[in-house]
């Protein structure tokens, strides 16, 4: 899976979780950029991303993610395996 395809799928997950079909994300998107992205929604988001990409994040990965780009890096790296 290439990064562009992963971003498209990840954008759809974000739009679903935050119930906003116009939501656009980029590598630099953080929780500060999305009004409803709080700690509860973060758990929902992580779960939804894991379901979409058929993977499980490690706790250190989740706690270390600073932006969408870092999440994409992990997704794309796992897709290579």
pLDDT, tens only, 6-44: 999 999 999 999 999 999 999 999 999 999 999 999 999
Kindly state the tokens that stand for 68. 């969408």
> Which pLDDT score, from 0 to 100, does residue 45 have?
97
What is the overall mean pLDDT for the chain? 95
Phi-psi sector, 20: left (phi>0), alpha (psi -120 to 50), beta = beta
> Which pLDDT score, from 0 to 100, does residue 70 have?
96
Q: How far apart are the C-alpha atoms of 39 and 57, rounded to whole Å?
A: 16
Short-list 31, 35, 34, 27, CA closest to 4: 27
Q: How far apart are the C-alpha atoms of 20 and 81, rounded to whole Å?
A: 32
Q: Which domain holds residue 52?
A: 3-80
User: pLDDT-based confidence at 81, cuts 50/70/90?
Assistant: low
**What's the predicted TM-score (pTM) here?**
0.93
- CATH number for the domain including 59? 1.10.1200.10
- The structural domain count of the chain equals 1
CB 77 within 8 A of CB 15: no
């Amino acid at each position: 899976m290439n990064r562009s395809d992963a971003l498209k799928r990840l954008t759809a997950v974000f739009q679903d979780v935050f119930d906003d079909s116009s939501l656009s994300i980029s590598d630099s998107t953080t929780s500060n950029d999305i009004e409803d992205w709080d700690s509860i929604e973060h758990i929902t988001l992580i779960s939804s991303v894991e379901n979409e990409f058929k993977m499980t994040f490690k706790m250190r990965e989740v706690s270390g993610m600073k932006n969408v780009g870092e999440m994409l890096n992990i997704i794309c790296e796992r897709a290579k395996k």
